[in-house]
Each structure stands twice: as structure tokens, then as C-alpha cells.
Chains A and B, each alone.
Chain A
Amino acid sequence: MEKKRENRIFAVIIAVCAAALSILYVAGMQEPDDVPDYKKRFTFISPLTWSNVASGVIQADRENGTNTRFLGTAQMDIYRQAKVFRQELLSRPDGIITSAPVDTADFRDALSEAASLGIPVVLVDSDLSDSDRSCYIGTDNPKSGYLAGEEMIKATGGFANIAIVTSDKNYPSQNERIQAFKEAIADFPEMKVAAILDCHSERLEVLSKLPAALREQPQIDALYLTEAIASITVGDLLKERFPGRRMTVVATDNLAATRAFVADGTYICTIAQNPWMEGYLAGKALVDILAGKEVADIIFTDTYCVTKDNLEETTALKAEEIEWVYY
């Protein structure tokens, strides 16, 4: 009996050892699982590294089973962007998402080349109207500027000397915002635009140009920041270098740093746009275009004002980890 039992135990041990070794062996020899295939190849050529937009695109990829390559750069350069755009056309992707912050003929030509190859291009954030792009998805820039103007009037009561910090007043999106802002305050003669500072979405430029302007024109008591980089930079600058000076600030975009300045009262509000939604909708739009569906020529994402009061109802934009390929 004893012997039989022992034999059985031996058999079980041998079986267990054999099974363990086999499992390990199979696991070791196994080829990795096939990577998930995708239906369409898209490329997002970002003027900078717009991670919020890219996150929306990734979500669209997940939902639509598409694949997007993210090309980004540290320094905005519309000519290089056009070159990269052309280069990208060589690999004949199924669709391209990009943005045209500056209106150049070169870029328009590039868009035409894409159209001639039958590759749909969706522009986000900044539009080039009358170009060969398939559609535009972005903030309603005039609405953004107008909202900023209204908030400024509310805060100053119609008396203000305003400095506008922008990326480049010649960029269509920036220009539209500034024009709408001016339109909003046109009825109040005591509200004047004292300066417009082009800072090209560069912190260094903001940090050098704005203090100079504030010292030159001591009457400036209000700021309109039309873009995201200026919005996250100015708050600290005011607190550190002009602690005593009373300043009414309306910012743009909904980044965490900007929200912090709204929360501590440095800014009266920020005009939030939804870049994530731009990316998400761009991905969907490309799929629809390729599927032959009708897509609107211009799609606006929502624009709203974030103040201290509704800070908790709105959420900060969270960017996913994006694998940028730098150009």
C-alpha cells in the first residue's frame, strides 16, 4: 500500500514538474501576440507639441480603430511645418490633421498637394479659409475674444487701459480674437487698448516684453492674454515683479497653472477652449470623410468662461502620454 501511495506521489510530482517546465517552455518559445491592426493611417502634424489635441486624437483612434502618428516640434515654424507636411505626403497616409497658425502661400500649396493626392486634411485650432483643407475644427475665436471683452467690461466697469498679450497678431486665430475683443469694448470709450504684445507663445518673450510695456505705460491696468503660454506665464510674473499693481487679467485656455491663478484671484477669469475635443472631432471627421459621409466645413468646439465660482464644475484638461516624433 505504502509503496503504491509513494509511486502515486512520485507520478504526481513528475507530472507537476513536467507541466511547469512545459508551460515555461511554451511561454518562452511563444511569439508575441499579433499587434492590433488598424484600419486607417493618420498623421497629426502639430505646430508645437499640442498634447491636449493629441489626447483627443488618441481617444478617437481607440474608438475608430485608426492609427495616428504624432509629429511635433519645440519651436513653431510654419515653413518647416509645410516641409514636414510634404514629406509626410510621401508615405501616403489616409488622412492628416494639422493646424495653420500662420497664413502662408507655401502652406496653402502643401494643402493643395495633399488634395491632389486625395488625402483629406483636417485643420484644428487655426483655419485657412478658402484653402484645399477638408474641414476646420476649432475654437470659435471671435466668440472667445468677445467673451473676453465682456468679462473685462464686467470687471472694470468700462474704465481700463488694456494690454493684449498674443502669440502673433497676424495669426488668423489671434487676430480674430483680438478683433472680437475690440468689438466688444467698442461701446465703452474709456476702455482703450494701450498695447498689443506679440510673444509667439514663448515664455521668454512674455517675460521680457510684458514688464517693459508695463513700466513704459504705467496707466495699463488690464491684461487680455489670448493664448495658453502667456496665460500660464503672466500670473507668476505679476506676483513676483508687480506685487503692488492692481491688474485685471482675462486669460485664455484651461491649463492647470492658469486655473490656479484664477483660483487665487490673480486672474478674474480664463476663456476656456476645448483642444481635446478638437483632436477627438478631427479624428472622427477624417474617418467620416474617408467613409464618404458629409462633414461640415467648419466645426466649432465649445468656448466658456472659467471663473472662481465655477472652477469646481469644470475640470482641467489632462493630457495623455504622447509619443511625439520631433521634426
Chain B
Amino acid sequence: MGLLLKREKDPSRSIEYLLLRYFRIALGIILFSTIAGIGAYSIKANATDRANRLMFLVNGFYTDLQVEQDKTYRFTTGQSQGASAENELKEGIEALKSELTELHDKPISSSYRRQIDDLTGMMTFYQESVNRLLASSYEGGSPDGSGTRLDIYYNTERIFRSMQDTFHSVYDEVMSECEAFASRADRLALIYVIIDCFAISLLIWYLIHQGSWIEKTVVLPVAYLENELQQMDLNQLERSGELSCPPEACSDIRMLIQVYNTMLATIQSQLREREEYTGTRLALKEQEVLNLQISNELKKAQLANLHAQINPHFLFNTLNMISQSAFMTGDGQTVQLLEMTSDLLRYSLDYSDRAVPLQKEIEILGNYVALQEMRFGSRITFCFDLDESFHDTLIPNLILQPLVENAIVHGVNTMREGARVTIQTQYRADEGMGYIRVIDNGMGMDEARLKEVDEKMRAARTVTGKDGLTNVYLRLYLFFDGRADLTISSPPGEGCCVCIKIPS
């Protein structure tokens, strides 16, 4: 089972992996957008910083130029004099020149560079002019005779104005360059911002999409599992079915469900085994009881059998003993009676439940009739009207004796004289049937009684009959497989006729 579970588990769909990936990607996007934001900010900040530095330099030059011109004015007007003032002037110009050199290297535009070069050219004139001013005196003017000190000052002033004009163009150039740079930075920053927006919308989309996915694969399956387990009835484990696995469930949940199902199946199979075991044991016990009963019955039957075997022998022995005693006393009639009774008894015992020819049956019936004649004497006359053409037909034994007995007991028993019992056999070739009739001239039966007897007799096909007539009917019916029949007729005042019809 361990192997099976291992095979089923897909590492790329486990909760751990899903969540790890989820947070990793989310963090990655957040980091990315943060970096992009910082990038946008730094680009903007850099552009601003660059513009500030450039403007600082440009404005610094302009301020220094004005200060220099102011110093020149103060020198000319005598407000500042001496070596220190001269040095300051010279140093100021050198500083301005180095500032121009610095400005020259800024990559702004050709016209900017051209103007800086123009300014440098002017600065040379300016320096020359200032030098002349420094060398001049109030009285004598310039030593090279180029004019009075004031003339020289005006010349510097003129160059200064020219420089100012050019500077304004430079200033414009720098401004527009800074603007261009800033707008370029703005564009790049905008790209960053767009990327950022894209990343953030991606993040939001991812959070929602992946969140719903995790909900589908983890949260809902867990809820489903919890719900299913809550509904489970621990007392009816055998009835709870397998949990179906939600198709989206992650591999961990799948494994849980699988383990649950396997466990459930195991428990259920164990329960079933136990149940089967209990059932088998019960059945076994019942079987044992039955066996005991059967053996009991068997013993009883054996005993009954023994009894049954003993009784006839005892009866025959007794009859023999009586017969010998009668013979000793010379009572020949009794001996005859006993012999006939004995024959009758033997017949009933020997041929019990066996088929006999009709002839044999009539022979034995003769014995019985002889006995009855002895008993009733002249009160009852027995007649035989026999058609022996079908007397070899096999019939169940002892079917005629009960009929004759019935005729005596129920028919003619009460008659003082003139009673007659006729036994008649007749074969009808056209029907292929043999008829056996027992006719008495006794009191007969009214119609209701006749009907009752007939119904009772016919109902005995299913119910085991106890009286003689029913017994005979049933045996005939079974022996001839329903082709034989027994009918009773009793015309009023003419006694009763029982007719058996058998196929021959």
C-alpha cells in the first residue's frame, strides 16, 4: 500500500508546493514592481539632480561674472585699491575661465558648446581689458595709449554686456537641455510605471486566479472531506460508501481520500468476514440440532420397525398356537378360520405396498369372504360374477377387501335376512377398461351423504386420507397415474354400488 500511495503522489500538485509557488511568484512580482518603482524614482531623481548641478554651475558662472564686473567697477572708481584688490580681480577671471572650461565639457548641444567657446573668446578680451585697467592710472590712462581709465572700463563693460547676452542664450540652451533630459527621464520613468502597473495587475490577477485555484484544489476538497467525515456514522461503517475524489483536488488531499477509502474498504471487508463467520457458526449449530433430531427420529423408526417386525410374528405364533390347540380339540372349523385369517394377514404383510395381479387379489378376497360367511352365516349371501379376461392386470393390493368390508359394515350389517354382496368384474374391450364392482343391497345412502363421501374421497388427492374408501381411491389414483377412477352410486332403495374402473 505504501508503494501505491507513493506512486499516486504528484509532487507538483502537493499543497506545500502549491503554496510555496504561490508565495514565491507573488513575492517575485512584488519585488519586481518595487524594484521598478525604485528604478523610476532614481531615474527621475537623477534627472533632477543633474539639472540642479548644471544650473548650479551655470548660475554660479553668471553670479561670479557679475561679481567680477562689480569688482572692476569698484576698482575703477577707487572704492577698492591695492595689490589685494588687483589679485582678487585676476583670480576672479582665472576662476571664471576654469568655470567656462568645466561648462565646455558638458554634453548639451553644439550651439551650447559654440556659445561657451564664444564666451571663452570674450573672456580673453575681458581679461586683456582688465589687465589694461590694472596697468592704467587716473592721470595717464593706459600705458599703451589706448585711452583713459574710464575708456578702458567702458570697454570691459561692453565686453561684459556682450557676455551677458551670450550667457542668456547659454542659459536657454541649458534650460531646454535640462527639460529634454527630464522629459526623457519622464518617459523612461513612465515605462517603469507602466511596467509596474502591468506587474501589479498581473499580481492581482495572479492572486485572484491562483487563489481561486488553491481554493478549488485545497480548501474545497478539505471542506468536502471534513463534511463527509462528519456525516459518517461510525456504527454503520459497512454502509458508508467510498469517498469520491474531487477532480481538482491536490495530490495531498487525493492521498488522504485514497487512504481513507483503503481503510474503509479494509474495515468493511473485516466486518463482512466477521459477519460471515457468525452466520456460519449459527448454521452449523442448527445443522447439529437437526442432525440430533434426525438421529433421534432414526432411532425411533428403528424401534418402531423392530416393534412392527415383532408384532406379526407374535401374531402368527399365537394364531398357530391357537390353531394347534383347536386341532387338538378337534375343532376343524376353528382351524380353518385361523388358517384363513393367517393367510389374510400374511398377504397383507407380504404384499404391503406392492402390485399384485387382480386374480391374486380376488383369491385373497375369497378368504376374507369365507371368514365373513362363517361369521354371518346365512344372513349375508356373497356372490362372485367374474370376467377373468383381464384378471392378470396388476393393481395395488388390498383395495377390494376394504370395499367389501364397507359394504358389510355400512350397507348390509343391519339386515336380518336377504342381505347380498356381489363382487363383479367386467372387461369392456371397446373402452380398454376393466370394471370391478362391489354391490350391496343394503340401506344405501341419500344423495347428500353420497355427495359428501365423493367430495371427501376426491379431496384426498392432496390430503392423506384415513378411512378405507379414501385410502383405496388415493392408491388407485397414484398407481394408475390418474387413469383409474372410483365411483359410488346409490339408487334409492337399491343399496350401494362402488365401481372401480382401471385401464387394462
Contacts and interface: CB of A to CB of B under 8 A. Distances in A.
A2 B119 contact: no
Contacts of B118: 41, 69, 91-93
A93 B162 CA distance: 14
B188 A92 contact: no
B159 A17 contact: no
B491 interface: no
Contacts of B46: 28-29
Interface in A28-61: 28-29, 31-38, 41
A92 B125 contact: yes
A10 B121 CA distance: 61
Overall SS of chain B's interface: helix
Interface stretch (B104-112, B136-144, B323-331, B417-425): B104-112
A94 to B, nearest CB: 9
B114 interface: yes
B340 interface: no
A114 B169 CA distance: 24
Contact of B42 (A25, A69, A90): A25
B188 A91 contact: no
Contacts of B191: 24
Contacts of B113: 35, 37-38, 67
A288 interface: no
Contact of A28 (B32, B109, B188): B188
B422 to A, nearest CB: 111
Given A3-B17, A35-B107, A91 B35 contact: no
Nearest to A13: B28
A25 B39 contact: yes
B122 A90 contact: yes
Interface string B167-188: 0010000000000010001001
Chain B contact-residue range equals 35 or more
Nearest to B199: A17
A320 to B, nearest CB: 15
Contacts of B35: 21
B43 interface: yes
B189 interface: yes
Nearest to B12: A2
Interface in B31-66: 32, 35-36, 39, 42-43, 46-47, 50
Given A21-B35, A24-B192, A28-B185, A93 B121 contact: yes
Contacts of B47: 28
Q: Name the residue in A25, A27, A28 with the highest tally of chain B Cβ atoms < 10 Å from its Cβ.
A: A28
A205 interface: no
Given A2-B12, A25-B39, A25-B43, A14 B121 contact: no
B28 A14 contact: yes
A29 B119 CA distance: 30
A87 B162 contact: yes
User: Nearest 6 A-B pairs (CB), nearest first?
Assistant: A28-B43, A92-B121, A91-B118, A2-B12, A28-B188, A91-B121
Interface of A: 2-3, 6, 10, 13-14, 17, 20-21, 24-25, 27-29, 31-38, 41, 67, 69, 87, 90-93, 323, 325
17 contacts: A6-B21, A10-B24, A21-B32, A24-B39, A28-B42, A28-B47, A29-B42, A35-B110, A35-B113, A38-B114, A41-B121, A90-B121, A91-B117, A91-B166, A92-B121, A92-B122, A92-B125
Given A6-B21, A323-B111, 11 more contacts: A3-B11, A13-B28, A14-B28, A20-B195, A21-B39, A24-B188, A35-B108, A41-B117, A91-B118, A92-B118, A325-B169
